[in-house]
Structure 1
């Protein structure tokens, strides 16, 4: 169980307000500063932070925070109305999905660190949490930089082949959306280029047999396009599941 040590990194849960402030500062640098956007007090913070567990990945030698994300837990049958994703997607149908659910949010890496071991360890720790809580569905919003969907047309068109099963498909709720069928139905794309243009988090979801909403949400405040993304734990390919658990073991 967390804390988890692998190589030069430590994964642990945030323990206090100081830890949360460090996560909010990293999120601010990762999501906003590197794109020339400056948020209030140098932090990316919202009301959902108080409702979540925060997972931190630190470089042991320096103590530097190199990755973080937050998790909100929902028991079987519990309403998802309080989730972050439910603010912009209609998720009532998903509430009948059997088993506990876990919302992943604000996943970010330090822009100055490019070690792939960080991402592997972050997901390995998440696999540990999923197993401990007997989670059946992991969900959240994956983000594309910028609000112009045309810049991400290849990736979004490819996502039409990974849509949520009809019974679980999120409904439109936000004021500004980009519906894949209406905008991208006949759009031609190269699969390799499309995969390379996906955000790393979304690419990982799809590698685990994840699925997405049939539309993206435009977020002017964060200057992003959000795509609802989920993975049914029972449907993760066996080899991928073993690899994740090996990291956490």
Structure 2
């Protein structure tokens, strides 16, 4: 998915060289940890990197990395470090892991997220991807801040049993078994991270537990989205952005 996708004030594109990857790594560090630095790991060399830039200045304001996987390869993903994903090895079709999604601090224009999803939609259509997945993160490691959100995930958005990720990480919050309260639906959706909220609005589902990631300072849930399950109206919107 290069050439560039342009909408309004922003361009979305795949990285073309080492300088683009370095820009993504610098943005990730600033977004996740603050200040100048580089966020990198062993997956950077095998992933593609999607960047959203301001048209006027060329400044990168959002990025994520994507890892294409064929059927049976999910064990090679970043997410497989934290979740036991053997159930998904039998998924029949190409998969795409989305990871390290972030925005430049202070940039909250909703068009940024829209063009990023439009670019991903174009890639999914071109490569005939059947499932998107990744780790959706809540800021901080205090689950008490997000009880309505986790209760809502339990009530409405758990993975189908046939795909359900199992516990692998040493520190987890088992919200599907530990929570008993009825969620405040409005508050629960408000407390969802924007990326996870978008997944859910398109029919996505999550693991029955959250991983406590001390290194990143987050709680995250495995999130899956089967392309065939996206409501037609949502597909039309994504196609319109990607056109």
| TM-score, with length taken from structure 2 | 0.96
- Alignment of 1:25 with 2:20, yes or no, is no
Q: Distance in 2 between matches of 1:233 and 1:206?
A: 12
SS at match of 2:74: coil
Indicate the residue corresponding to 1:65 in structure 2. Answer: 60
Alpha carbons 1:136, 1:233 under 8 Å: kept? yes
- Asked whether the 8 Å contact 1:137–1:233 carries over to 2, the reply is yes
Gaps of 5+ in 1: none
Quote how far apart the aligned CAs of 1:18 are.
1.1
Q: State yes or no: 1:153 paired with 2:147.
A: yes
Offset of residue 110 of structure 1: 1.2
Q: How many residues align?
A: 241
Counterpart of 2:101?
107
Q: Distance in 2 between matches of 1:73 and 1:181?
A: 30
Q: Is the 8 A contact 2:9 2:55 kept in 1?
A: yes
**Among candidates 173, 181, 187, match of residue 193 of structure 1:** 187
Residue by residue over 1:16-65, the C-alpha shift from the partner in whole angstroms, topping out at 9 and shown as x without a partner, is 111111101111111121xxxx6xx7111111111100001100111100
Contact 1:79 1:92 in 2 (8 A): no
Give the secondary-structure state (helix, strand or coil) at the position aligned to 2:207. strand
The answer for the alignment partner of 1:208 in structure 2 is: 202
- Structure 2 residue corresponding to 1:134, chosen from 121, 128, 137: 128
Give the conservation status (yes or no) of the 8 Å contact 2:136–2:223: yes
Q: Which residue of 2 aligns with 1:172?
A: 167
Is 1:51 matched with 2:46? yes
Deviation track 1:160-181 (CA, whole Å, cap 9, x = no partner) reads 0210000100010000011113
- Name the counterpart of 1:84: 78
1:181 and 1:107 map into 2 onto residues whose CA distance is: 25
TM-score, normalised with respect to structure 1: 0.94
- Does the aligned pair in 1 maintain the 2:72–2:91 contact within 8 Å? no
SS at match of 1:214: coil
* Structure 2 residues without counterparts, runs of 5 or longer: none
1:177-231: per-residue Cα shift (whole Å, max 9, x none)?
11113321x1233110110010000000000000000000000011100100010
Q: Per the alignment, in what secondary structure is the counterpart of residue 141 of structure 1?
A: strand
Secondary structure (helix, strand or coil) at the match of 2:68 reads strand
The secondary structure found in structure 1 opposite 2:43 is helix
CA distance in 2, matches of 1:13, 1:137: 20
Matched, 1:244 2:243: no
Q: Are residues 1:220 and 2:214 paired?
A: yes
CA drift at 1:7: 1.9
Alpha-carbon distance in structure 1 between the residues aligned to 2:97 and 2:152: 24
Structure 1 consecutive aligned stretches of length 4 or more whose deviation exceeds 3 Å = none
